[in-house]
Amino acid sequence: MMTTTSRPFRSDNPALDNALGQLAGAVQILGYHEGIHETLATPRREINVAVPLRRDDGHVQVFRGHRVQHNVSRGPGKGGLRYHPSVDIDEVRALAMLMTWKCAVVDLPYGGAKGGIDIDPAEHSAAELERVTRRYTSEIMPLIGPTQDIMAPDMGTGEREMAWVMDTYSVNVGHTIPAVVTGKPLAIGGSRGRGTATARGIVHVADAALTHAGERIKGSRVAVQGFGKVGANAAQIFSDEGAVVTHVSDAFGAVRDDDGLDIEALLAHVAAAGSVVGFERGDAVDGASVLTADVDVLVPAAIDSVLTVDNANDVRARFVVEGANGPTTQEADTILGKNGVTIVPDILANAGGVIVSYFEWVQANQTYWWTDAEIEDRLAGRMRSAYAEVAHHAHDHDLTLRDAALVIGVQRVADAHRLRGLYP
């Protein structure tokens, strides 16, 4: 039951309000009482830190950093580190909560966490970003660790930042601890397949959803918003699988080719130019038009809250596979559902990254490295069985895929609370 309490089950921040609304929906379906609702809605631990940076020109600029462990009842916190000017504590809370359900729905022994700094990495040199990363890591040291909270890349960070986090943590502890972060470079304990894992997982569930509907990935038309670690790799893998990727955007613009963009050529262009803008083997189009493109599959793989009440009725894709975290507002979710659009929700669709992060952590703890084939097989197995479990639950209980995934995730976390009991 939706409660009428004054407790903070709503937020002014759209991303957090969305996450809290999704939780409230799952709690209602599960029939949980207010106590468990409040437990699940409340982050377990949060830390806010000032991150002073000595700029290359000598002056000092102060950023705000956050780390939120939303829930640790099933294991240590797990979640990315985001560098983006819009980062604030509420956004980090929302993303940490999503990580809790995501880890539970794909049955990883982790809770959910997230971190971020309100910095635009494009505005800073590598040396400045290294100083920011090391200072942030040392500020949150007491809270993180391989059995406490394990970081990974997110928007604006990558394996370079993870190497700095691992080094800063290890130097302070006095010996090398690779398992404190995942998404590291291969040479210092990263896992094979981690860089493309999220994208690979997206393509696995897109294929499962298409197959379920009697369709095929080969020949399907795909639009991708965002051309970073998730979007670019997803576009490449869709294309490798025979899909026709007609639209791609990034923060600066978008390109379109109805016969299918040459993704390899586009990757080479972006490597040189820094953006999809100016790609000559496609037409320049407005970034927003990618979301309403006439395609079979839409993959939002950039930022949250891009499918809203304002554009949901214009979405022509029949499948939305959420690469980004929280790209669809609750109102848009309802509209898309009414319009017959199948949404594969973020906590399932983009779980490939955290699954291979888990593999990386297991390998680091065992100091025994798996082959590409072992990673690929295990990732495919976990993604496809999680999809099948969610799809069965949705079918059996007449739920959307999102509600089914949330219900499975929330129930697993609530069960862990119940079994462990409340201390003291």
**In terms of CB distance, is 98 or 391 closer to ligand NAD?**
98
Q: How far is the CB of 359 from ligand NAD (least distance, A)?
A: 13
* Cα separation values, 391 from 148, 300, 324, 409, Å: 32, 21, 20, 14
Number of Cβ within a 10 Å radius of residue 118: 17
Residue 302 contacts ligand NAD per CB under 6 A: yes
Tokens of 325: 């975290």
| 295 is an interface residue for ligand NAD by CB under 6 A | no
- Mark the segment that binds ligand NAD (CB under 6 A) among 67-75, 203-211, 300-308, 311-319: 300-308
Our finding on whether 324 is near ligand NAD (CB under 6 A) is yes
* Choice from 18, 137, 246, 350 touching ligand NAD (CB under 6 A): 350
Residue 219's region, left for phi above 0, alpha for psi from -120 to 50, else beta, is left
* Contacts to ligand NAD from residues 253-292, by CB under 6 A: 287
Q: Which amino acid makes up residue 12? A: D
Residue 27 or 324 with smaller CB distance to ligand NAD: 324
Cβ proximity to ligand NAD, 41 vs 94, nearer residue: 94
In the complex, minimum distance from the CB of residue 424 to ligand NAD, in angstroms, rounded to a whole number: 37
Smallest separation, CB 59 to ligand NAD (Å): 27
**Contact track, ligand NAD, 140-169, x by CB under 6 A:** -------------xxxx-------------
Residue 229 within binding range of ligand NAD, rule CB under 6 A = yes
Select which of 114, 184, 218, 229 is catalytic. 114
Q: Which is nearer to ligand NAD, 152 or 408 (CB)?
A: 152
- The DSSP secondary structure of 245-297, one letter per residue, reads EEEEEETTEEEE-TT---HHHHHHHHHHHSSSTT-TTSEEE-GGGGGG-S-SE
Report yes or no: 355 and 201 within 8 Å, Cβ to Cβ.
yes
CB 301 within 8 A of CB 228: yes
Q: Are 76 and 149 in contact (CB under 8 A)?
A: yes
Confirm if 407 and 29 have CB atoms less than 8 A apart.
yes
Q: Is 218 a catalytic residue?
A: no
CB 7 within 8 A of CB 41: yes
Q: Which residues bind ligand NAD (CB under 6 A)?
A: 153-156, 198, 225-231, 249-251, 287, 301-303, 323-325, 350, 353
